Amino acid sequence: MSVLVYTESENGKFKKTALEVASYAKAVASKLGTTVTAVTINAEDTSALATYGVDKVLNIFNTELDVFNAKSYASAIAQAAKQEDAKVVVVSQTADSKYLAPILAINLEAGYVSNVVETPSNTTPFTVKRTAFTNKAFNNTSINTDVKIIGLSNNAYGLVENTASATKEDFAPSLPTNGVKVESVDKASNKVSIADAEVVVSAGRGLKGPENWGMIEELADVLGAATACSKPVSDLGWRPHGEHVGQTGKPVASNLYIAIGISGAIQHLAGISASKVKVVVNTDPEAPFFKAADYGVVGDAFNVVPQLIEKLKAFKAANA
């Protein structure tokens, strides 16, 4: 009865969350007095997993799984869980893992808790803490089923090294027939996604128009950050919907979130509140964002942002 963790990869390389869920799975396994088995799908080099406490790696290589498919992936992971007699399965909360987890839960007749932020506080009953009400609260939840699935919130646990000597096995699950076929993927390969980003630079109506986003993109470039925007900005069509963060947009759980010209509506703050450090730049000192931020600059974005870009470039050159 090991803890099984699905370590997600893309184009053969582990996603940032893969090593985090492995670290977390190791902590859960230690509480239960058992080992960690990772399951990978078309990952090229799995050696990093041993550094984060994985005892055994099941490698699935199948060209039919080159493109993500929730039903097929869920089925493959379920078969791995059954083979390992796993009582706990850990997944991340990337778009793909959130897609497959409910299917996996039905396949394994397992209780699933999403958005988990800590290791289990208790093992009988098995109790985890999750976020609810779009980060406005936490909810302590117990799982009653024999097999339990935990969806670990991105960036909630971090990376914890625990060197193990991982054994490796190939694993060949049978795949279900599948009624959903991916026809095309439209993804900027040179841009960091909001989900993967350590730093997110976000801007709102204070920017006055889409033509002024050049400096936001430049600031993001300097920081290696993803760009995001407030709801009004995406509703106005200044920026693509995919950049909208907040309660009805994407959630953000970055290490650093920089909000420029965003007043901080309650729905926006809820969606970004899982970020660890928040910085606000706004002309209005009464803007609600100042109550939610760690650091604030009262000032005009058109004055502050270009200066910040230059100073960050100098800082990076000095610390390179």
Partner 1 sequence: MKILVCISHVPDTTSKINFTDGDTKFDTNGVQFVINPNDEFGLTRAMWFKEKQGASVDVVNVGGAETESTLRKALAIGADNAIRVNTEAKDGFQVAKELAKVVKDGGYDLVIAGRESIDYNGAMVPGMLAELTDANFVTNCISLEIDGTNVKAVREIDGGKETVATSLPLVIGGQKGLVEESDLRIPNMRGIMMARKKPLTVLDPSSATQETNSLSFEKPAPKGAVKLVDADNLDELINLLHNEAKVI
Binding residues among 253-312 for partner 1 as defined by CB under 8 A:
255-256, 266-267, 270, 273, 276-277, 279-280, 290-300, 303-304, 307-308, 311-312
3-class DSSP state for residue 38?
strand
**Closer residue to partner 1, CB minimum distance, 13 or 241:** 241
77 counts as binding partner 1 under rule CB under 8 A? no
Instruction: Pick out residues in 172-191 that bind partner 1 (CB under 8 A).
Output: 179-188, 191
242 counts as binding partner 1 under rule CB under 8 A? yes
Given candidates 137, 211, 286, 320, which one binds partner 1 under the rule CB under 8 A?
137
Given candidates 26, 56, 71, 87, which one binds partner 1 under the rule CB under 8 A?
71
257 contacts 271 by C-beta, under 8 angstroms: no
How many whole angstroms separate alpha carbon 127 and alpha carbon 148?
10
Given candidates 1, 32, 83, 111, which one binds partner 1 under the rule CB under 8 A?
111
Stretch that binds partner 1, among 35-43, 79-87, 109-117, 157-165 (CB under 8 A): 109-117
3-class DSSP state for residue 109?
coil
Given candidates 66, 172, 241, 284, which one binds partner 1 under the rule CB under 8 A?
241
Instruction: Pick out residues in 114-133 that bind partner 1 (CB under 8 A).
Output: 114-115, 125, 127, 129, 131-133
**Closer residue to partner 1, CB minimum distance, 123 or 303:** 303
Given candidates 39, 50, 57, 101, which one binds partner 1 under the rule CB under 8 A?
101
Neighbouring residues of 7: CB distance < 8 A, sequence distance ≥ 6 = 14, 18, 19, 21, 22, 38, 39, 40, 43, 46, 49, 54
How many whole angstroms separate alpha carbon 201 and alpha carbon 259?
6
105 counts as binding partner 1 under rule CB under 8 A? yes
Given candidates 195, 201, 219, 260, which one binds partner 1 under the rule CB under 8 A?
195
How many whole angstroms separate alpha carbon 173 and alpha carbon 62?
9
> At CA 98, angle to CA 158 and CA 198, rounded to 5?
35
The residue type found at 3 is V
81 counts as binding partner 1 under rule CB under 8 A? no
Given candidates 6, 73, 112, 157, which one binds partner 1 under the rule CB under 8 A?
112
How many whole angstroms separate alpha carbon 151 and alpha carbon 117?
9
3-class DSSP state for residue 133?
coil
Residues written for the chain: 320
106 counts as binding partner 1 under rule CB under 8 A? yes
**Closer residue to partner 1, CB minimum distance, 56 or 244:** 244
Stretch that binds partner 1, among 38-46, 99-107, 157-165, 166-174 (CB under 8 A): 99-107
159 counts as binding partner 1 under rule CB under 8 A? no
How many whole angstroms separate alpha carbon 259 and alpha carbon 244?
13
* DSSP annotation string for 260-288: ES----HHHHHHHTTSSEEEEEES-TT-T
